[in-house]
Amino acid sequence: MHKGFTIWLTGLSGAGKSTIAEILARRLREAGAKVEVLDGDVVRTHLSKGLGFSKEDRDTNIRRIGFVCELLSRNGVIAIAAAISPYREIREEIRAKIPNFVEVYVRCPLEVLIQRDVKGLYKKALNGEIPQFTGISDPYEPPLHPEVIVDSSVETPEESAQKVWDKLEEMGLIAFTRQPAET
């Protein structure tokens, strides 16, 4: 059994937030939990369509994701948000509204992200083609006291997801009955 809660993955673009979120969601669903993933890229095309990348628009986007997470958590669903969410103040505002909020900092050095550059965004940002790009021309404020820190430059996504899983168990947020092994 489980109660509703929110896992909030924050970190720079390309750090692995979405991948870790999907691994966690799959494992939780396999264990019988109700789970919804709010991926930053997907939310921007639906819930936050039309918002730009000014600080005000970014704050609005994160508040919307937080509002949905709050509703889901309150109704017994595990909400997993995977969004850059660059500003500490807004993340703390969301934390204050959601009981059982688990902040996960997906850390990865900028140099590694620039090397990976899966979507080619860092190259464009460094060439000035993408204004207001978090980590290049816009700030990212790492969390001061996240419940979990994973480092995608040295951990596999599965290892990072396991660290989060272990913390959820430690916090008493998940406790799934394990079936005895067949003999």
Q: What's the pLDDT tens digit per position in 101-137? A: 999 999 999 999 999 998 899 999 999 999 889 999 9
CB 40 within 8 A of CB 83: yes
The per-residue pLDDT of the chain, averaged, comes to 92
What residues act catalytically? Answer: 85
Chain-centre distance for alpha carbon 18: 7
Question: Taking 80 as the threshold, does the pLDDT of residue 183 lie above it?
Answer: no
The domain limits of the chain are 5-170
Q: Which residues contact 161 (CB under 8 A, 6 or more apart)?
A: 20, 23, 24, 27
Strand partners, 74: none
Mean pLDDT of 157-175: 95
Candidates 99, 94, 101, 95; CA nearest to 74 is 99
Query: What is the fold of 5-170?
Result: Rossmann fold (3.40.50)
pTM for this predicted structure: 0.92
Q: Cβ–Cβ contacts within 10 Å for residue 63, how many?
A: 15
